């Protein structure tokens, strides 16, 4: 859950500076200290939950996507500190 929280926090931070910007997955992995395998399944999980959108490309290995952006549901969750901490606790 720490990785998912990190992903959402960084994509949200990117959004507040550049609302239509995309967050590079490789940079995100570095910021969160995650290996590609862990990044991939956690990114897909967050996408299936409707919290992020992934921009897929054929030339993005070792990642499942080249970039990500936060959805309205993801923004609402991050901005609700109590709900965010409950869903993705700080450990």
Contact criterion met (CB below 8 Å) for 46 and 7: yes
Give the domain range for residue 34: 2-87
Number of domains, the chain: 1
End-to-end Cα, the chain, rounded Å: 8
Taking only the tens place, the pLDDT of each residue in 12-58 is 999 999 999 899 999 999 999 999 999 999 999 999 999 999 998 77
Stated pTM of the model: 0.93
Sort 46 into a burial class: Cβ within 10 Å, 0-12 / 13-18 / 19+.
Answer: buried
Residue 55 belongs to domain with CATH number:
1.10.10.10
* pLDDT of the residue at 28: 95
């Amino acid at each position: 859950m720490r990785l998912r929280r990190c992903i959402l926090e960084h994509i949200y931070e990117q959004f507040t500076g550049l609302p239509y910007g995309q967050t590079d997955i490789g940079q995100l992995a570095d910021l969160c200290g995650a290996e590609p395998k862990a990044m991939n399944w956690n990114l897909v999980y967050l996408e299936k939950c409707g919290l992020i959108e992934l921009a897929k490309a054929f030339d993005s290995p070792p990642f499942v996507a080249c970039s990500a952006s936060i959805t309205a549901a993801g923004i609402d969750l991050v901005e609700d500190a109590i709900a965010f901490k409950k869903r993705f606790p700080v450990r």
